Every structure is written in C-alpha cells, then in structure tokens.
Copies of this chain bind each other. A is one copy, B any other.
Amino acid sequence: MMTRKEIKQNRKLAQALFNKAGIVTTKNEADSIEVADFGLGAYKQTGLALLVYVNTDRCCAKELALLPCQTCPEHRHPQVDRNNPGKEETFRCRWGTIYLYVPGPKTRHAQARPPKANLPNANPPKAYPPTDKASAYTVWHEIVLKPGAQYTLAPDTLHWFQAGAQGAVVSEFSTRSVDAKDVFTDREIQRTTRIG
C-alpha cells in the first residue's frame, strides 16, 4: 500500500530517471506513471515504475524506470485465452544497468544472499533479491543489459530483474499486456497497487 503522496514522490523519481535517459514525456504522461509496489509495501526494494505508451489488443510499448538496486519480482505471463499464448516481451536497456534472470544454467555465484565479505569471490553475483524472499526467486541465469542491449522473452517464461547501483530505464516492446493475469512466484504479491 502507498499513500497518494508516496505515489507522487515515486513518479517524480521515475521521471528523473526518464530525464537521465533522454526520454521526453508529456505532462499528462508524467502524471500517469504507474508506481507498482506489488503489495509488499517496500517500493524502493521491490517495485517498478511504468509509463505505458500504447496497449492495444495486439501490441504494447512501455518505459520502465527502476531505482538503484530496485527489484521487479519473479513472474511469468501465462496463456490468457486461445488467441493469446501469453505475453512475449523484449527488454531494451536505455540507461543504467539491468540484471535480468531467466531459466537456464545458473550463473556462477548467483544466489539469494549477499556475498560474505571475507569470501574470495572472483565472479560475484550481480543482483540479490530481498533476503527474506529467497524462495520466491527460482531462476538464476543472468543476462546483463547495458544501454543498447536487449533480450526477448518467450511467453510464460519465468523472469525477474534488478537495477544496478544507478537505477535503470528499460523500454519494453511486447504483445498485449494483461498485468492482472501475471503469475508471481511470491504468492504474497498483489499486482495492483493499493492506495491508502
């Protein structure tokens, strides 16, 4: 749950990231940025800001803004109906760094806890999910996206991502978004942000 004031503040933080990425938005767009806390009430840790440019029956485009080290929690976009086998999406990094995790060989050292300071670690993991949510993060094949790099996810593929230390701006190009149908590994998550 977030207050209206918190939503307004977090919209400003997202807009500041869009500005850094050179992305121009209208005032109406800036005022309609979606601020999602996934019902966990810890936005700066687990959250995402979204500006939806277009979302028709056939295709969708958005900008995503992530605060430093902010995590979009693990989820998938399942088949919605006979005509929609689930959302296919491409993430393109525009600014900052995104660590994207998908099914596949586990990236060495990737783990759901911070590295021990005294442990030699030649290939440290790039991102950590919240320590109290380790079981809600099950895919560990790491894709690092810097500006100009992109990755396409097939429908119904589990994935999560975390911004680097500066935050990140990511363009998402996809088929129709039906966010309410997203399936999160963490069953405590509610996709629709409650305002209180």
Binding site for B on A (CB under 8 A): 21-26, 29, 53-54, 56, 58-61, 88, 90, 92, 94-95, 147-150, 152, 171, 173-175
| A54 and B22 contact, Cβ closer than 8 Å, known pairs A173-B173, A175-B59 | no
- B53, B88, B94: the one within 8 Å of A92 (CB): B53
A9, B22: Cα distance in complex, Å: 25
A194, B14: Cα distance in complex, Å: 44
- B22, B59, B149, B150: the one within 8 Å of A173 (CB): B59
A117, B46: Cα distance in complex, Å: 61
Residue in A25, A54, A90, A147 with the greatest tally of chain B CB atoms within 10 Å: A54
How many copies of this chain does one complex carry? 2
- B22, B26, B152: the one within 8 Å of A21 (CB): B22
| A148 and B24 contact, Cβ closer than 8 Å, known pairs A59-B174, A173-B173 | yes
Who on chain B is nearest to A58 by CB? B175
| A54 and B21 contact, Cβ closer than 8 Å, known pairs A59-B173, A61-B173 | no
Could you tell me if A29 and B148 are in contact, using CB atoms closer than 8 angstroms?
A: yes
CB distance from A36 to the nearest CB of B (A): 21
Could you tell me if A150 and B90 are in contact, using CB atoms closer than 8 angstroms?
A: no
Q: Which residues of B contact A21 (CB under 8 A)?
A: 22
13 other A-B residue contacts (CB within 8 Å) besides A24-B94, A29-B148? A21-B22, A22-B23, A24-B148, A26-B148, A53-B150, A54-B152, A56-B88, A58-B58, A58-B59, A59-B60, A59-B174, A60-B173, A61-B171
A23, B23: Cα distance in complex, Å: 9
Could you tell me if A61 and B58 are in contact, using CB atoms closer than 8 angstroms?
A: no
A133, B22: Cα distance in complex, Å: 37
A56, B59: Cα distance in complex, Å: 12
